[in-house]
Chains A and B, each alone.
Chain A
């Protein structure tokens, strides 16, 4: 059966039913889709001292933030035992990073993750860190486990660059997924066998970008020091939470409701169209640790 077009009228109808769902109309389950009772857990950790200086994370504090996030997420106080729930010594582990110049994943985050993977018994030679070269990297070609870590930022074409989008480098021609503002990015998770292999998603929010301008979609003016990390085993839940924080920052900065342009529809469609995870805040258990000032959520 041909897919029914979603039009602005559908959004208007939803908004007419309830004042709060207009912006999240993509959260509506597609007719005929199985509605699951899934829930997700997301941990937000913030630390006032996470940055030594502008864009320079403190490695020790970042390590502690990630440890607290993973321990809480997995309900295991001992951080090594917690990581052993994610990886085993025989695993080949790829840390899918992001090297975008103005706001990368950062070496500090990458090394903090790598350290714990090694603590859990994985030999260093079986751990790789890569972004744009994953298709040629033997570690990633043979990876049994992926750890998905990238910074949160608004994105010119997909609304937000987050954990759902991060594996796009597994795809030979990323622009094949650009249609309708990257609405169906979630399919790459199925097409490239990423769902089961990705054990942890880290959305780095140390200094996110909440608005972009120009061809490079960047200006320092729109970076703010949030000093946080979000962690979840559900890539959709972690991105949906990130979207709420970015949106709140935009509201605060611009002094008015300024929706992401284009909307981050791929995050919500990853749930409602592709069943990759949970985007509905009511179904996300959000645990907040650490610094609360300016938390925005």
Chain B
């Protein structure tokens, strides 16, 4: 490992305490990069690679007769990706830590600046919960800056949208995790595309709004053509189709952003949403 990585490790390690409520850090931290992450967290490593993570520092805390606590500190390089990876798994209650957090079943996750932090106890007890929350607050306070959320997320209409139903990502692997579209990458997503998925739930209605920003307008048009040709070939130029479940899918490109609504209750509603988002795009 080169000098820069070593320095980075020291910086990351400095954000974590050596002791929390009687749990003491093991002597040696572990550090992983996008090539070695699978040695540590197996398949879930794909998630962090999908968000361009740079480095992960893992520190284990032990206390006699208590379950171990594991702190995973991810340097995501950008606050947008720290936010994005946080939105990958939003189960749990808000713990009020960092710029967004969840706590559930012995796992505290939060993001702040360009860091994503996962603190986890191998068994959940009242003591471990208290220690995890205290550790989270301490790590959060040692990260001095706050980071910006991706602005594409702000294009999602807020009506009927819960904060926990927003996901930000880059590639089709993550899209399919949250909302399966196709086994092939028919939206031409890659690490340079930025996507926001909103899951809207109202009475008897659940629909999905996907926004994808491409690096160039031309790429957005290609993606639109690819998607409509494979997913909704019968739509023609209208860009709207009624699917076999009697719901509606509609797509449109505005500037370099592709807008798709899935599972809308009517074609009118689908078109209204596309129009609403298009107007927001014009303003940015």
Of the residues A157, A158, A213, A217, contact of B92 by C-beta under 8 Å: A213
Interface status of B118 (Cβ within 8 A of chain A): yes
Q: Which chain A residue has the least Cβ–Cβ distance from B102?
A: A213
Q: How far is the CB of B181 from chain A (nearest CB, A)?
A: 6
Is there an interface contact between A219 and B118, defined as CB atoms closer than 8 Å?
no
Interface status of A261 (Cβ within 8 A of chain B): yes
Q: How far is the CB of A48 from chain B (nearest CB, A)?
A: 24
Q: How far is the CB of A152 from chain B (nearest CB, A)?
A: 15
A214 with B181: in contact, given A7-B230, A158-B43 (CB under 8 Å)? no
C-alpha spacing A11/B44, complex, angstroms: 26
A11 with B180: in contact, given A5-B230, A16-B245 (CB under 8 Å)? yes
Q: Which chain B residue has the least Cβ–Cβ distance from A102?
A: B122
Is there an interface contact between B120 and A216, defined as CB atoms closer than 8 Å?
yes
Q: How far is the CB of A134 from chain B (nearest CB, A)?
A: 16
A16 with B244: in contact, given A175-B45, A182-B43 (CB under 8 Å)? yes
Tell me which residues across on chain A come within 8 A of B124, comparing CB atoms: 219-221
C-alpha spacing A12/B262, complex, angstroms: 12
C-alpha spacing A222/B123, complex, angstroms: 11
Q: Which chain A residue has the least Cβ–Cβ distance from B177?
A: A262
C-alpha spacing A5/B227, complex, angstroms: 11
Q: How far is the CB of B216 from chain A (nearest CB, A)?
A: 24
The segment from B19-27, B104-112, B148-156, B265-273 found at the interface with A is B104-112
Of the residues A155, A180, A222, contact of B183 by C-beta under 8 Å: A180
C-alpha spacing A214/B91, complex, angstroms: 9
Interface status of B89 (Cβ within 8 A of chain A): yes
Q: How far is the CB of B131 from chain A (nearest CB, A)?
A: 16
Is there an interface contact between A157 and B182, defined as CB atoms closer than 8 Å?
no
Is there an interface contact between A7 and B181, defined as CB atoms closer than 8 Å?
yes
Tell me which residues across on chain A come within 8 A of B72, comparing CB atoms: 215
Interface status of A8 (Cβ within 8 A of chain B): yes
Tell me which residues across on chain A come within 8 A of B123, comparing CB atoms: 220
Is there an interface contact between A178 and B43, defined as CB atoms closer than 8 Å?
yes
C-alpha spacing A12/B180, complex, angstroms: 11
CB proximity to A under 8 Å, residues B214-267:
230-232, 243-245, 262
C-alpha spacing A214/B230, complex, angstroms: 34
Is there an interface contact between A215 and B48, defined as CB atoms closer than 8 Å?
yes
Interface status of A13 (Cβ within 8 A of chain B): yes
C-alpha spacing A220/B109, complex, angstroms: 17
Tell me which residues across on chain B come within 8 A of A144, comparing CB atoms: none
Interface status of B186 (Cβ within 8 A of chain A): yes
Tell me which residues across on chain A come within 8 A of B104, comparing CB atoms: 213, 219, 221
Is there an interface contact between B70 and A216, defined as CB atoms closer than 8 Å?
yes
Tell me which residues across on chain B come within 8 A of A102, comparing CB atoms: 122
C-alpha spacing A222/B120, complex, angstroms: 14
Of the residues B48, B89, B106, B262, contact of A8 by C-beta under 8 Å: B262
Tell me which residues across on chain B come within 8 A of A178, comparing CB atoms: 43, 46, 173
Interface status of A111 (Cβ within 8 A of chain B): no
Q: Mark B18-51, 1 if CB is under 8 A from A, else 0.
A: 0000000000000000000010011111111000
Interface status of B176 (Cβ within 8 A of chain A): yes
Q: Mark A96-122, 1 if CB is under 8 A from B, else 0.
A: 000010100000000000000000000
Is there an interface contact between A7 and B105, defined as CB atoms closer than 8 Å?
no
Is there an interface contact between A156 and B122, defined as CB atoms closer than 8 Å?
no
Interface status of B184 (Cβ within 8 A of chain A): yes
Interface status of A130 (Cβ within 8 A of chain B): no
C-alpha spacing A175/B230, complex, angstroms: 28
A181 with B177: in contact, given A156-B44, A216-B41 (CB under 8 Å)? yes
A221 with B176: in contact, given A7-B230, A157-B44, A213-B91 (CB under 8 Å)? no
CB proximity to B under 8 Å, residues A71-104:
100, 102
C-alpha spacing A181/B91, complex, angstroms: 21
Is there an interface contact between A219 and B107, defined as CB atoms closer than 8 Å?
yes
Tell me which residues across on chain B come within 8 A of A180, comparing CB atoms: 173, 176, 183
A262 with B46: in contact, given A5-B230, A220-B106 (CB under 8 Å)? no
A selection of 10 A-B contacts at a CB cut-off of 8 Å is: A3-B184, A5-B183, A157-B46, A157-B47, A181-B173, A216-B41, A220-B106, A220-B124, A221-B105, A263-B180
Q: A7-B182, A214-B120, A215-B44 are in contact. List 18 more A-B contacts (CB 8 A).
A: A3-B184, A5-B183, A6-B183, A7-B186, A9-B243, A12-B245, A100-B42, A156-B42, A158-B43, A175-B38, A214-B89, A214-B118, A217-B44, A219-B106, A220-B124, A221-B106, A221-B124, A262-B177
Nearest 5 Cβ contacts at the A-B interface: A157-B43, A219-B105, A5-B184, A221-B105, A156-B44
